Structure 1
């Protein structure tokens, strides 16, 4: 399966028929990007819940769901009526628990250029000392697993003679000691994407690559319900995984096709279209 869908990830019919093993995604942050402006806070939370209910339903038992999420700052431009910061990650964590998912890991991405998504923080003369908001120069990655056991039952097993079992992995599924030492640290120091001319909220390909190598094996299906410019799919292809994704914006869908086709050096990506049924057409995530 290598498939990208022009559709709405809130709609169950937009999802591939074959279940996936890992989701790596970065939902809209509700920080004032042009594609977020038409949404209220309540609609934004419902969007997240609808999408991740579908994601869980289409994930194999023991499969992982890695979500790069940002909280909402108090008095931000897009949410001026909100008088306190809101931990979106916690709200989503409660929802994931309701969907029979358990938190496995929490990672902090320490950003080198945090100003891009920090419209609520700026200096002007006369800022009172009692009204200073700090710059959120980090983002969260919350990693969940589906079900009661993080070990996937679909992986091949070999008996070792003592009644115990070992999971079998190929050489390409192993992680070097050097990478392991860097990646198991809970804080990842990683450069932001230097230019977002084609998409206003890209995340680094290295960010997706690490998560894919940590939480999947060769041949697994890696999914992104907010495909954007296709970063997750490109990273998945480059490390020997299959990919699937959904993007609602036709412009970004075309951009993702271009980026992925450049990565695979062939114009062979499966394409399909599932029109949104219940949601406003002028609200594009």
Structure 2
């Protein structure tokens, strides 16, 4: 082999070299400088984190998350939520699509404000309807990038055989009008300001096996029982638990602006993180508080994720703190 051929063999591959075997020392810089990326949000200069006040650590706040003025800028490390679907379930307002998306935009702008530089936002969403189909995941992705979030990717949540599949066949066994029956939802994943966070002095808790499995873009896990949890659209504790362990360090702060039945709070406690959550419906806030209390007393999450609190460590009891604020009630 001559010197020229040797140099060619050592040359870095480019992103356009799809199918190239053993793409070691891959150089994607040219791809990300292309026109395809020219109009998308860019990483921004680093800004220092701020501390979340002690009285908001492990707090469930009965208030509208369109204003999270209790929370300082850059004091939350991860947001995990599943917005209400606005499809005439008992706890939803009857909003137009435009009004619904405006509500979400207000909440996610506040989320952007309170996240640290490099903090992540993970949104579980199901698309709805058939006449026509409403791709809420697409609408939310557009909202998030217009705010300035950097999209990291998406996970397909395959709800498996236990999914409550709609029996709206359309035209049964006929090409007249067959209807697709969803057995999946989306988890949209974004970052604020930058993709990375400094790991110095911080402790990871994820195992090698879980990291290898959870960085795949399809997760298969069963749904949560609405009757068991006492909420019309709960997600399993396992879902936020995976996101928390994958995207945060021990003792980080997790926000859920639509707390619902409290699954995100439980996932935070079981992984040695702290939570702050908002819920506007008193009955669901009370149900979340009951689930949290039960976990603190018994270790039972009422869901699919096993408890993971370290031996000898007691999670902070949200009912023992003074959570009063000027414009909201805390539970």
- Is the TM-score greater than 0.5? yes
Residue of structure 1 equivalent to 2:272: 240
SS of the residue corresponding to residue 101 of structure 2 reads helix
Structure 1 residue 213: Cα displacement: 0.1
Structure 1 residue 96: Cα displacement: 1.1
Q: Which runs of 4+ in 1 moved over 6 A?
A: 124-127
Establish whether residue 50 from structure 1 lines up as the match of residue 106 from structure 2. yes
- Relative distance call for 1:39 and 1:275 in structure 2 (3 A) is farther
Instruction: Provide structure 2 residue ranges, at least 5 long, that are not aligned to the other structure.
Output: 1-56, 298-316
1:35-69 residue CA offsets vs partner (Å, 9 max, x unmatched): 22522222211111111111111111100000001
SS of the residue corresponding to residue 271 of structure 1 reads coil
Structure 1 residue 254: Cα displacement: 1.0
Whether contact under 8 Å (1:6, 1:272) holds in the other structure is no
- Relative distance call for 1:215 and 1:124 in structure 2 (3 A) is closer
> What is the TM-score of this pair, normalised by structure 1?
0.80
1:91-140 residue CA offsets vs partner (Å, 9 max, x unmatched): 21122112221111210000133326x4xx42588785321111111000
- Relative distance call for 1:150 and 1:190 in structure 2 (3 A) is same
- Relative distance call for 1:216 and 1:31 in structure 2 (3 A) is same
Residue of structure 2 equivalent to 1:139: 185
Q: CA RMSD in A?
A: 2.3
Whether contact under 8 Å (1:10, 1:54) holds in the other structure is yes
Spell out the pairing of 1:42-191 with structure 2 (5 A cutoff): 42-75=98-131, 84-112=132-160, 113-115=162-164, 118=166, 121-123=167-169, 129-147=175-193, 149-152=194-197, 155=198, 167-170=200-203, 173-191=204-222
Higher mean C-alpha deviation, range 54-63 or range 97-106: 97-106
SS of the residue corresponding to residue 21 of structure 1 reads strand
Establish whether residue 194 from structure 1 lines up as the match of residue 225 from structure 2. yes
- Per chain length, whose mean CA-contact separation is higher, i.e. which structure has more relative contact order (CA < 8 Å, sep 6+)? 1
Mapped to 1, the partners of 2:134 and 2:125 lie a distance apart of 12
Count residues with an aligned counterpart: 249
When Rg is computed on C-alpha atoms for both structures, the one with the higher figure is: 2
Residue of structure 2 equivalent to 1:282: none
Higher mean C-alpha deviation, range 239-248 or range 26-35: 26-35
Mapped to 1, the partners of 2:145 and 2:103 lie a distance apart of 17
